[in-house]
Chains A and B, each alone.
Chain A
Amino acid sequence: MQDIVSVSKLTKKFGDITAVDRMDLTIKEGEIYGLLGPNAAGKSTTINVLCGMQHKTDGQVKIFGKDIEKDIRAIKADIGVVPQDIAIYSDLSAKENVRFFASLYGLKGALLKERTEEALDFVGLRERQNDLSKTFSGGMKRRLNIACAIAHHPRLIIMDEPTVGIDPQSRNHILTSVKQLNEMGSTIIYTTHYMEEAEFLCSRIGIIDHGKLIAEGSLSELQGIVADRKRIEIVTGIEKEADAEALKRIKGVLDTRLNEDDCIEVEVLKEADVIGALVSELTRQGVSIRDIKVHAVNLETTFLSLTGRKLRD
């Protein structure tokens, strides 16, 4: 399959701060590529460079085989961007919003009308097409935000956390829509804070932290990185704080983290039987135990292991 996005040694600096650090990234045609990372990891900067909103400091970026420095206008014509913040006009109707943004991609006449209606149908807003968008709910605005990015049938759609702050019904609608868009032929880059969305949607996932792509692969490949591990969550009483460092000395324990909600997260080798030792140690410390949960490896575990941070940190 053709490489839709090819990034080599991409670096972006803001003064002394390096937001993206020699990143290599390849996305193939037809993929839904998940870009995961905590806040300030470099996701948005990477996306801004890909859609031509920011200039790279160094490296090479090719989209559809074209150099982003030389052919940015042609590249932009084939990209649809769904920004994280809802960027629509509240004093325009749903139809006027979609028509306006589609017209900026060069659509006109009958084709513009047809594609506008098609996009509104796709996001389920045809019935409300003549209503001003300021009368819409948060979920409807999110769907309109997507409609404005897809009417011109882009080959590459970049979605920056498109489900933030919406109800489960609208979220499900959007996730199904993303799958459909992919089946219709668009390649999708999807950034999210929600692990379950990445697990549900993405054929490949890249984990980015401190401006670097620290892991990349399919869901099973990423889980394989930490396949020899499991995660134990211990909810303690509030009377006394546990000494997490002491827990690390138990054989088979790889890492521990104390959360604010009186919860100790313990990463252990999959085969190690450490629960008894953990309970003994906490009892010795005088810490009461209210609950213990053992989690199998998932993307969240992988992310924690790789970055040392939760995705929403």
Chain B
Amino acid sequence: MKILSIIGKEMKTQLRNISMLLIYVLMPIILILILGVTFGSQMDGSSLTLGDMTVDYLVEGDAAELTDGFLAMMNEDAFSGNMTVEEVSDKDAALSSLADGQITCLVMVNETDKSFTIYKNSLYNTESSLIEAVMSTYVARYNAVMEIVKVNPAALAEIDLEAPAGDYSSMVALGQEKNLNSMDYYGIAMVVLFIMYGILQSFGDVLNERKTGTGNRMLMTSLEKYEFFAGKMAGQILVLAVQLGAVVLFSTQVFGVSWGDKPLLPFLLILVEMVMAVSIGITMGLSLNAEATGMTMGHMIIVLSAFFGGSYVPVSQLGGMASAGRFFSPIWWVQSGIVNYIYLGEKTTMMHAALFCLGITAVMFLISVIKLGRTEGLSYA
């Protein structure tokens, strides 16, 4: 009953704090939106949108099979719609157009020595590289046919030259049916990150109880210290759950963020992370007297965990030592655990993440118990 009273009090005092609501509800939603949209093209795995391309070609010598093959390739379905192929006769004028950005690239078709030369404009780097790659494949195919003609011309009859030439290679994705898009990634990442901000919330709350004397006043009643601790833990966890529950609800409904088909285990891991964050905050609140020290420590923990945990940029984009730092980040463990479970069906990382968080929680509990046992009341010096 007393613990329930403390929980109720925590909910009322914290959830009535408008600035806290802005930080814990509005901020993650805004960040999911901004980061999700900003990094969307890098992470979504969808097709690259190409701009309109204009390819000029100039035939050196009389047009023959190499020119025909080139034109046939350029007119294939893969490029149809947004590519214009035009023959030019003045090389200098064409290069001038290329320099001005009026064309994507210039292809010199040399029928004499059977070769291609491509002139590219750095403005259209992606598009011209794509054309270069496709042409390399075409040249390889052409050379292969020429070799066959030299060695065994009769074998050409067995090759279906009418078959579509576009499928030079095919991609097979391993293991997964679902795609992790940027909204999903940051939808999870921001919830995992803002749980860590629960450290600051819990620290501030406990320190405030000590400063204002309300903590001591609670202990002057028949309340035991363990009831105070349990009430604080449960209350702060519930406050975080309500705040970030609103974020999860909003982001799933509005941004379509996915927590998988079976979200029970991910949410359990989220709960474990909340327990860890609150235990760190309460322990700091019981141990430190200076608000500035606690806030600095808390922010350091959060920022480093976020950086190495991939909250802002996926860990795969960090290199070397920075990448190694992820093993010390609870955010990385929890996030990886959730993502691996949802998208690969793998539970091992999730188990490791839970053990990592519970280990830290156990250490924090131990420090708090020692602190509460040794301190008379909740004295604030």
Contacts and interface: CB of A to CB of B under 8 A. Distances in A.
Interface stretch (A88-96, A254-262, A270-278): A88-96
A86 B211 CA distance: 11
Contacts of A234: none
B2 interface: yes
B223 A104 contact: yes
A53 B12 contact: no
Interface in B188-245: 212-214, 216-224
B16 interface: yes
Interface in A60-116: 73-74, 76-77, 79, 81, 83, 85-89, 91-92, 96, 100-101, 103-106, 108
Contacts, number: 72
A100 B9 contact: yes
A230 to B, nearest CB: 42
B169 interface: no
Contact of A76 (B9, B214, B222): B222
Contacts of B17: 91
A104 B231 CA distance: 11
A54 B220 CA distance: 10
Interface in A23-42: none
Nearest to B4: A103
B62 interface: no
A91 B214 CA distance: 13
B217 A91 contact: no
Given A53-B220, A105-B221, A92 B12 contact: yes
Contact of A85 (B8, B212, B222): B212
B13 interface: yes
A74 B224 CA distance: 12
B222 A77 contact: yes
B5 interface: yes
B217 A83 contact: yes
A148 B12 contact: no
Interface string B1-26: 11001001100110011000000000
Contacts of A86: 212-213
Given A96-B12, A106-B1, A87 B214 contact: yes
A205 interface: no
Contact of B377 (A54, A73, A89, A148): A54
Given A91-B16, A101-B217, A53 B376 contact: yes
B236 to A, nearest CB: 15
Nearest to A55: B376
Contacts of A108: 1
Dominant secondary structure at the A interface: loop
A265 B138 CA distance: 113
A104 B5 CA distance: 7
A73 B222 CA distance: 5
A83 B222 contact: no
Given A73-B222, A105-B221, A89 B213 contact: no
A100 to B, nearest CB: 5
A170 interface: no
B214 A103 contact: no
Nearest to B214: A87
Contacts of B220: 51-53, 76, 79, 81, 83
Contacts of A104: 2, 5, 218, 221-223
A103 B213 contact: no
B134 to A, nearest CB: 66
Most chain A CB within a 10 A radius of its CB, from B213, B214, B218, B223: B214
Contacts of A53: 216, 219-220, 376-377
Interface in B350-381: 376-377
Interface of A: 48, 51-55, 73-74, 76-77, 79, 81, 83, 85-89, 91-92, 96, 100-101, 103-106, 108, 148
Given A52-B219, A91-B16, 16 more contacts: A53-B376, A73-B224, A77-B222, A87-B217, A88-B214, A89-B9, A89-B13, A89-B214, A92-B13, A100-B8, A101-B221, A104-B2, A104-B221, A105-B221, A105-B222, A148-B217
10 contacts: A48-B377, A53-B220, A54-B377, A77-B222, A91-B16, A100-B9, A101-B217, A101-B218, A104-B223, A106-B1
